[in-house]
Amino acid sequence: MGTWNSRGLRGEALEEFINISIDKYKEKGLALIQKIPTPIKPVKMDQNTRQITLAYFDQKSTVDYIGVVQGIPICFDAKECQTDTFPLANIHQHQIDFMRDFEKQDGISFIILYFSHKNEFYYLPFRDILYFWERMEKGGRKSFTYDEVDKTYKIGQANGVIVHFLEAINIDLTSRN
């Protein structure tokens, strides 16, 4: 089982960019999205500073963010990749199950994937994630590549929003009709 401090700063910048973006969306009345904290169980605390120095993940989390965009429920996870290959081990079965169930309730599930070495953000619709996942379960690749990501869903910046993913949601919605 992983510990709270074993992951270092991985993904921290990505989540900060997303948090700034969702704050802008809220200010403009476009969306209301919340970061879901990962439940942890503190094991050791520094008595002087009252800071947690060691903790374990208390239970499996679902996704990083959940909210509503113009009346449409959304949930998504933020992932970062430092190469052209994204290991599916970075997505967990309970996350796939949650996103699948969310979609069954007419919500929209996706991943925002940041290819840090290219400084590019992508929106991965759940149907694409599921395709890669099922391919792996059938004995195929345990990863997917940058070239397999649909470039239609590249996320840019706009109007002070660093990770402007609302346009990608709109493309996803249009493709579902």
Does residue 64 have a known ligand-binding role? yes
Residue 31's pLDDT is 96
Residue 39's pLDDT is 59
Residue 2's pLDDT is 38
**Bridge-based pairing state of the strands 72-81 and 108-115:** parallel
Could you tell me the mean pLDDT of each successive run of 10 residues in the chain, 177 residues long? 39 85 95 82 72 62 90 96 95 94 96 95 97 97 97 92 95 91
- Under CATH, which number does the domain 13-37+62-176 receive? 3.40.1350.10
Residue 166's pLDDT is 96
Does residue 93 have a known ligand-binding role? no
Q: Where are the domains of the chain?
A: 13-37+62-176
Does residue 150 have a known ligand-binding role? no
Residue 58's pLDDT is 54
Mind listing the pLDDT tens digit for each residue in 62-86? 899 999 999 999 999 999 999 999 9
Start-to-end CA distance of the chain, whole Å, equals: 42
Does residue 77 have a known ligand-binding role? yes
Residue 149's pLDDT is 98
Burial 117-141, CB ≥16 within 10 A → b, else e: eeebbbbbbbebbeebbeebeeeee
